[in-house]
Structure 1
C-alpha cells in the first residue's frame, strides 16, 4: 500500500522586507525538520516532491539528504498566492485567512481564490502520483494549500476547520491505492498518541 505524506514546512524566519516565498526556515524550524528524521514513517519514503518556495525546499532538502534522495521541485505546488497583500502582521493575516477559507469562490484582498488554489495543488499531486512507481512519496509544501488538499482528498467542503495546527511542521498521510486519508494533521517531530 503506497502512501503519500503531505508535509508542511515548520517555523520560518519572518522578515517583512523579504517576499514571503523567499523566507527560509528559522532555527526552530530547522531543528524540527531534523527531528522529523527520527520518526518511523520517514524511512519508507522513496520520492520527494516539493514546492519551489524556499521554506519548503529547505525542509525537503533536510529530508532528502537523510534519505539520499533527490528533490523534485514543482513550481505550481506553491502556497496560495498572496502577493497582492504581501506580508501581513499575524492578527491581520489570520483574519484574511479566515475569509479566504470562508469564501472559497471569492478573491479576498486580491489573494488567489481558495477553489483555484485547491484545484492547482490537487492537480499537481495527481500529476506526480501518475508517474509514481508504487513507492511512498513525500510532498513538501504549505499549510494553506495542504489543508485544501486534505479537504479534497477526504471529500469535504472548503473550510478552515481542517487547518493544520499553528506554527506549521505537520503532515497527513494518504493511501494512494485506496484513495483514502489514513490520518489528518500530526506534528512532524513527535510520535502519535
Structure 2
C-alpha cells in the first residue's frame, strides 16, 4: 500500500488581529521547505494536496518544485485547520496552548473557534479517503496544519493529541502506510538550524 504523508506547513508569520487562516510563510519558512523536501524524498510522493490556506499552499507549491512532482497540485478546503475565524489572537503562548488542550480534551464540542475538533477530523479524513480513492496506488502528501494533523494521527494511531500537537514544529510531517494507517515515521521537527 502506498504511503500517505501528513505535512504541517512551514513557518508562518502571525499577524495579531487577523485570522490565522490567512497568514503567509516567513522567508525562513520558504527556505525550510527545501529541508522538508529532502526529508520527504525517500517516500517518492507522486502527488500533493493542500488546504486552501496561504501558508499551506506556499508550502505545497515549494515542495512540489523541490520534489519535481509533475502532477497538478490539488487544493482542498477540507484539509484546512480547525475552523477558528472568531478565535482570539493569543499573545501568550501558554494561554493558547491551554485553549488547544481544552478543545482536544472535549473534542466532541465546539470549545475553540467554530468547529468541534472531532468534526474537523471527520471532515479531513473524509476528504483524504476521497483523495486516496481518486488516486489509487499513489503515494500522496497532504499539506495541512498542526491541530488537525494531531487529531488525525490520534484517531489513526492512538497517540495523545495534545502531546503530538505540542511537539509539532513548522514544518513537520508524519508518514502512515496500509489500510490500518500504521505510523512509518513521525518527524515533529526537522534537523535544521
1:62 aligns with: 62
2:126 aligns with: 123
Within 2, Cα distance between the matches of 1:53 and 1:47? 18
Greater shift after overlay, 119-128 or 105-114? 105-114
Call closer, same or farther: CA 1:10–1:160 in 2, change over 3 Å.
same
CA contact (8 A) 1:22 1:53 kept: yes
1:73 aligns with: 75
1:150 aligns with: 153
1:113 aligns with: 116
2:47 aligns with: 47
CA contact (8 A) 2:50 2:143 kept: yes
CA contact (8 A) 2:30 2:59 kept: yes
1:98 aligns with: 101
TM-score, normalised by the number of residues in structure 1:
0.87
2:31 is paired with a residue whose SS is: helix
Call closer, same or farther: CA 1:177–1:116 in 2, change over 3 Å.
closer
Q: Any stretches of 5+ residues in structure 2 without a counterpart?
A: none
Q: Say what the alpha-carbon RMSD is for the aligned residues.
A: 2.2
Q: Any stretches of 5+ residues in structure 1 without a counterpart?
A: none
CA contact (8 A) 1:122 1:152 kept: no
TM-score, normalised by the number of residues in structure 2:
0.87
